[in-house]
């Protein structure tokens, strides 16, 4: 019989095994580890083909993870071999059942394989995988070969385990990185020298610092406090001995400068940062984890509340004290007022009461908008030209310096709309036109009909609006800081509400300064709102 010794003891010299084990322990990529193991094993026993199967602990099965000398399409035919359980200590000779199955498979895939050997990979007392080696010859085992092959299997098992653990660590790290990266709060990690080692996307969005630029820089440079609301910052706290053993977290709040031009609208951001120390077992500081909250909106709301209270109290007080003054004067027992004085005084009282009503209406609308209970009261046949006439008459009568003209084309349609609210919009726009053209001048309310929409414009010859303030004027309680708005009354609610009302009608409200290429000297601004023709009756 043409049998040969499976393993020639001479080639299993220490150096060879050592070289393999070195290659294996240096390698952490599981696929490469498996490739080296299989190739070495095949060389070791001069096999024709081989494969490695690894245990799938959850399914209690083995899965083919590397093959040598077997075409991909043929791999599935080897599955019956995996079903023969490995029994430790019984495979020093060919297992008849395996040999039989192998010969069948060999015939099916045309590889002419006659005999096989399984080397277990054992780690922690468990078979974590098996190396299958296939021969086209029959063989016998010479003395000691099995022990050597088993020691090769043990080496291989260590390498596989290492690679698996490494893979697991990488996977875990990726998972943690993804959690940090996708956290809605800003997260930053610092080393003990306060250099940034981690910086997530939310924090980049808040501060304008791309992670790649922030990482490696000192904490102070990236989060440079412009103002502090708390007593200390991180650097000072560390100087004062933070973190003390068992110390609580450190909270720092204030404004920092935004980086670069990512935030065109703001150059600073209000942050609240909680620093948590990470200590090693012997109490040394290893990392600092910082959770960062953007408090800008909260601060803005706070500022808004303050503005609200001061503006509203001022705006309420003025008409009330005027009304009280006139009423008190008229009521004096000792005076005998002429009918003209009485009429004029009563007109003032009426106007001031009207402006109080407007203010209260505006406040109610604003709170309805905030509460989400704002809804239109739609009526048919609303005529914007007629509304404009009414507003012009009412407001024109109050100012001698201004002339208010109304110009609508004859084909201007009536519309389905909320009449009271559109009157409010016109009221706001025209009274702004008066307020913000202190030297008087013409005010024109005009209409235009377009295929898809109709528009109403209110043009004045007043102070206009500086380009850099254009984004602000439609915000709640915003009043531009110029000499005029300091002198004129106003809540900063008019345009905010007007815009909301127009948008509730599916329209738009915008403005232009009147100066243009054709009229470079034109003063003042034109506010225009459009409404879709769907809203019209045509
Ligand atoms: P208020 O007039 O009560 O201050 P608004 O919301 O109506 O509030 O207007 C906001 C700001 O926009 C005003 O304070 C003013 O600075 C500016 N503004 C509004 N209308 C005009 C206009 N026609 N011309 C110039 N500035 C205007």
**pLDDT tens per residue, the chain (538 residues)?**
455 665 555 555 666 777 777 777 778 888 999 998 999 888 888 888 999 999 987 777 889 999 999 988 888 888 888 887 887 766 655 677 888 888 888 888 888 888 888 889 998 888 899 999 888 877 666 656 777 788 888 889 999 999 999 999 999 999 988 998 999 899 999 999 999 999 999 999 999 999 999 999 999 999 999 999 999 999 999 998 888 776 679 999 999 988 876 555 568 899 999 999 998 888 888 999 999 999 988 887 887 777 777 777 777 888 898 999 999 999 988 888 899 999 999 999 998 898 888 888 888 887 887 777 788 888 888 999 999 999 999 888 878 889 999 999 999 999 999 998 999 999 999 999 999 998 999 999 999 999 889 999 999 999 999 888 887 888 877 777 666 666 667 778 889 889 989 998 999 999 999 988 888 888 999 999 999 876 544 4
Angle (CA) 73-75-81 rounded to 5° is 150
Q: With DSSP H G I counted as helix, E B as strand and the rest as coil, what are the percentages for the chain, rounded to 5?
A: 45, 25, 30
The conformation of residue 469, written as its DSSP 8-state character, comes to G
* Cα 115 from Cα 102, distance rounded (Å): 7
Q: What is the pLDDT of residue 6?
A: 58
Delineate the domains of the chain, giving CATH numbers in brackets: 3-177 (3.30.450.40), 186-294 (3.30.450.20), 300-371 (1.10.287.130), 379-537 (3.30.565.10)
Cα of 492 from ligand 1 centre, angstroms: 7
Q: Where are the beta strands (DSSP E) in 57-113?
A: 61-68
End-to-end CA distance of the chain: 106
State the CB neighbour count (10 A cutoff) for residue 133: 23
Cα of 486 from ligand 1 centre, angstroms: 11
Own/partner pairs, 40-44, CB within 8 angstroms, 24+ separation: 40/152, 41/119, 41/131, 41/133, 41/152, 41/156, 42/68, 42/69, 42/133, 44/7, 44/11, 44/12, 44/16, 44/149, 44/152
- Identify which of 148, 189, 167, 186 has the alpha carbon closest to the alpha carbon of residue 45: 148
CB 392 near ligand 1, within 6 Å: no
CB 436 near ligand 1, within 6 Å: yes
Taking the CA atoms of 523, 524, 530 and 536 in sequence, report the sign of the dihedral they define.
Answer: negative
Reported residue count of the chain is 538
Give 265: exposed, middle or buried? Use CB within 10 Å, 0-12, 13-18, 19+: exposed
Q: Bridge partners of 509?
A: 529
- 3-class secondary structure for 477-529? CCCCCCHHHHHCCCCCCHHHHHHHHHHHCCCEEEEEECCCCCCCCCCCEEEEE
CB 259 near ligand 1, within 6 Å: no
For residue 17, how far is the Cα from the chain centroid?
54
Query: Which of 443, 463, 473 to mutate to test ligand 1, by most ligand atoms within 8 A of the CB atom?
Result: 473
* Residue 424, both tokens: 């409010």
Q: What is the pLDDT of residue 125?
A: 86
Q: What is the pLDDT of residue 264?
A: 52
Which residue has its alpha carbon closest to ligand 1 atom 19? Answer: 432
CB 494 near ligand 1, within 6 Å: yes
Q: Please provide the DSSP assignment of 117-186 as one string.
A: EEEEEEETTEEEEEEEEEESSEEEPPTTHHHHHHHHHHHHHHHHHHHHHHHHHHHHHHHHHHHHHH-SSE
């Amino acid at each position: 019989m043409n049998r040969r010794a499976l393993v020639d003891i001479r080639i299993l010299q220490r150096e060879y095994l050592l070289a393999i084990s070195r290659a294996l322990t240096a390698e952490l990529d599981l696929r490469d580890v498996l490739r080296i193991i299989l190739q070495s094993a095949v060389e070791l026993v001069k096999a024709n083909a081989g494969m490695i199967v690894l245990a799938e602990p959850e399914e209690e099965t083995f899965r083919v993870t590397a093959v040598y000398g077997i075409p991909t399409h043929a791999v599935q035919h080897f599955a019956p071999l995996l079903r023969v359980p490995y029994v430790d200590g019984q495979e020093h000779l060919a297992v008849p059942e395996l040999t039989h199955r192998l010969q069948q498979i060999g015939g099916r895939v045309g590889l002419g394989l006659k005999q096989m050997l399984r080397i277990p990979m054992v780690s922690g007392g468990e078979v974590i995988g098996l190396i299958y080696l296939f021969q086209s010859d029959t063989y016998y085992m010479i003395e000691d070969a099995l022990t050597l092959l088993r020691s090769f299997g043990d080496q291989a098992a260590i390498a596989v385990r290492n690679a698996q653990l490494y893979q697991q660590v990488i996977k875990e790290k990726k998972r943690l990185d993804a959690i940090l990266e996708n956290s809605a709060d800003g997260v930053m990690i610092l080393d003990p020298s306060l250099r940034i080692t981690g910086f997530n996307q939310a924090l980049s969005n808040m501060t304008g610092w791309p992670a790649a630029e922030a990482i490696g820089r000192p904490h102070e440079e990236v989060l440079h406090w412009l103002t502090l609301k708390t007593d200390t910052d991180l650097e000072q706290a560390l100087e004062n001995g933070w973190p003390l053993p068992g110390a609580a977290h450190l909270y720092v709040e204030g404004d920092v400068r935004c980086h670069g031009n990512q935030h065109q609208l703001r150059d600073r951001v209000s942050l609240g940062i909680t620093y948590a120390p990470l200590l090693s077992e012997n109490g040394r500081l290893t990392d600092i984890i910082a959770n960062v909250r953007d408090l800008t909106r909260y601060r803005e709301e706070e500022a808004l509340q303050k503005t609200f209270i001061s503006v509203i109290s001022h705006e309420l007080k003025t008409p009330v004290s005027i009304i009280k003054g006139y009423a008190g004067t008229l009521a004096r027992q000792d005076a005998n007022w002429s009918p003209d004085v009485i009429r004029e005084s009563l007109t003032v009282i009426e106007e001031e009461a009207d402006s109080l009503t407007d203010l209260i209406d505006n406040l109610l609308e604003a709170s309805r908008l905030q509460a989400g209970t704002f809804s239109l009261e739609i009526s048919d046949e609303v005529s914007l030209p007629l509304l404009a006439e009414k507003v012009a008459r009412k407001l024109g009568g109050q100012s001698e310096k201004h002339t208010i003209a109304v110009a609508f084309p004859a084909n201007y349609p009536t519309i389905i709309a909320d009449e009271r609210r559109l009157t409010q919009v016109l009221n706001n726009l025209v009274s702004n036109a008066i307020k913000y053209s202190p030297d008087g001048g013409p005010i024109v309310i005009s209409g235009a009909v377009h295929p898809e929409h109709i528009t109403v414009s209110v043009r004045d010859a007043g102070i206009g609006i500086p380009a850099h303030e254009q984004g602000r004027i439609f915000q709640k309680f915003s009043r531009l800081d110029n000499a005029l708005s300091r002198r004129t009354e106003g809540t900063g609610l008019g345009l905010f509400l007007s815009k909301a009302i127009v948008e509730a009608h599916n329209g738009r409200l915008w403005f232009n300064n009147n100066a243009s290429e054709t009229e470079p000297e034109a003063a003042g601004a034109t506010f225009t709102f459009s409404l879709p023709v769907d809203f019209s009756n045509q």
